[in-house]
Amino acid sequence: MKVNRKIFREYDIRGIVEEDLKGDFPYFLGKAFGSYVKRLKVNSVIVGGDNRNTTKDIKEKLISGILSTGIDVVDIGTIPTPVLYFSTHYYNSGGGIMVTASHNPPEFNGFKMVVKGKSIYGEEIQKLADLIENEDFEEGKGKVSEKDAKSDYINFLVENFKFKKRLRVGVDTGNGTVGPLISELFGKLNLEMEGIYLESNGDFPNHLPDPVVPENLKDLINLVKEKKLDVGLGFDGDGDRLGVVDENGEILWGDYLLIIYMREILKEKPKSKIIFDVKCSKALEEEIKKAGGIPVMWKTGHSLIENKLHEEKAPLAGELSGHLYFYDRYYGFDDAIYASLRLLEIMDKTGKKLSELLKGVKKYFSTPEIRVEVPDEKKFEIVKNLQNYFRGKYPISEIDGAKVYFPDGWALVRASNTQPALVIRIEGESENSLQRIKEEFFKIIEKFK
């Protein structure tokens, strides 16, 4: 069977349902995943799915494929992705697979996979494509059972968080999978919640559930200002990324959230490594050093950062895009729901407003994440040409794409792991330097594009 290799991406499988995941593809992927884990001596896996309209059908075919290899399946229903990750640890399962396309438009769907407590990525994902193409499958007859993982997850969080003050929290889940769960959880934690777009709706009628796009946070910002709330929390479609708005309606990106988290963690665990991706502000690196930690910059991508976190035995990692990973009092995977509670806990403990928690941090001027559409087959070649162009002209980091250090700022270009696009971010010490670097950088990108 031929598969579209383009959908087997760096850290997940994702594509348009009617083109890439149609017919028996999910069944054969189930056979491949079942065979893959069986050869690693795993005999049972957990399967969950998001609230997309296509997820139910895809999940049924996937489970059927897994069962045909002799692997048992625990079906945990419609849940956010972190609940699947949590379940693999909490139930001590050898693996799990989540049917989700996160924040992508409704016509997309996909799969995120965990084996032996860690997300699989890179070459390991390509091995699944090999198994399908070679029809190299195990045979057997697995059994399916169900578990109420959502309740176990909520109970775990309720046991681990207690709030003295009744914080007033705005929440926008963008009609993704998080809404119903967060309503129940915050109720049990005695948090006062004002919610918008909490209803589960796989058509995402109000905005795409992507809290990294400022446009998608507009309604949350208005809610926070209008109701004079302490904080606004935006969740992506499957609940593994967090967007935050402070009491003044200012957006705090993942790198500034990391500053708040790591200051608290380094008080308890001095000299720890803190992992962050190449898109993060220079302010984060400076603040980690000031707080007595060791900054470690790494490649963007949820599996890549997660793997680095475990490799370095770091208590905390994060990405600009709002993936936040706690290996401190938690299992070390990206969970926006857990991360939101850690933030509220710091606010509760210190009695400070969010804006006050960032006092004294140097302000840099930066662009949001800019995506420039280019074909999948061209994006890596363009990045390679840009690395060659800048090498020798300016200091450059090639950990992930080209991060070019100018005297008064930096500019990054890298190939997106999830879309046919280049991802660009630029930071300057002043608005003038940001503008100048941006103009120079984009001129050069256009030349190679």
Q: To the nearest whole percent, how much of the chain has pLDDT over 90?
A: 94
Pair 354, 374 in one domain = no
Neighbour count for residue 136 (Cβ, 10 Å)? 14
Pair 122, 18 in one domain = yes
CA distance 325 to 96: 18
Mean pLDDT, all residues of the chain:
96
Token pair listed for 79: 């849940």
369 within domain boundaries: yes
Mean pLDDT along residues 86-103: 96
Return the sign of the alpha-carbon dihedral for residues 413, 417, 422, 428.
negative
The DSSP output letter for 369 is -
What is the pLDDT confidence band of residue 212, given thresholds at 50, 70 and 90? confident
What is the pLDDT confidence band of residue 229, given thresholds at 50, 70 and 90? very high
Residues with catalytic function: 14, 102, 323
Instruction: Give how many domains the chain has, as a whole number.
Output: 3
What is the pLDDT confidence band of residue 420, given thresholds at 50, 70 and 90? confident
Residue 44: predicted pLDDT: 98
H or E segment at 298? strand 294-298
Pair 313, 407 in one domain = no
If you count DSSP H runs as helices and E runs as strands, how many of each does the chain have, helices first?
15, 22
Given a cut of 80, whether residue 417 has pLDDT beyond it is no
115 within domain boundaries: yes
Report phi then psi at 217, rounded to 5.
-100, 0
Pair 400, 263 in one domain = no
What is the pLDDT confidence band of residue 301, given thresholds at 50, 70 and 90? confident
Residue 316 contacts residue 357 (beta carbons within 8 Å): no
Buried b (16+ CB within 10 A) or exposed e, 402-432: bbbebeebbbbbbbbbbbebbbbbbbbbeee
Residue 299: CATH number of its domain: 3.40.120.10
Pair 324, 395 in one domain = no
Pair 221, 318 in one domain = yes
Residue ranges making up the domain that contains 72: 5-148
Mean pLDDT along residues 116-128: 94
155 within domain boundaries: no
- pTM of this prediction? 0.95
Residue 281, CA distances (Å) to 72, 253, 270, 305 in order: 45, 10, 22, 16
Residue 416: CATH number of its domain: 3.30.310.50
Residue 402 contacts residue 396 (beta carbons within 8 Å): yes
Residue 309: predicted pLDDT: 97
CA distance 449 to 436: 20
Strands 365-366 and 324-326, bridge-based pairing: unpaired
Residue 133: predicted pLDDT: 97
Given a cut of 80, whether residue 23 has pLDDT beyond it is yes
54 within domain boundaries: yes
429 within domain boundaries: yes
| Residue 301: partners with Cβ closer than 8 Å, 6 or more residues away | 10, 11, 121, 277, 417
Strands 421-428 and 409-415, bridge-based pairing: antiparallel
End residue of a domain, out of 148, 183, 213: 148
End residue of a domain, out of 314, 340, 362: 362
Pair 199, 95 in one domain = no
Neighbour count for residue 238 (Cβ, 10 Å)? 30
Residue 221, CA distances (Å) to 52, 215, 226, 230, 249 in order: 26, 10, 9, 11, 5
Pair 30, 116 in one domain = yes
Given a cut of 90, whether residue 89 has pLDDT beyond it is yes
Residue 211 contacts residue 251 (beta carbons within 8 Å): no
Given a cut of 80, whether residue 418 has pLDDT beyond it is no
Pair 137, 22 in one domain = yes
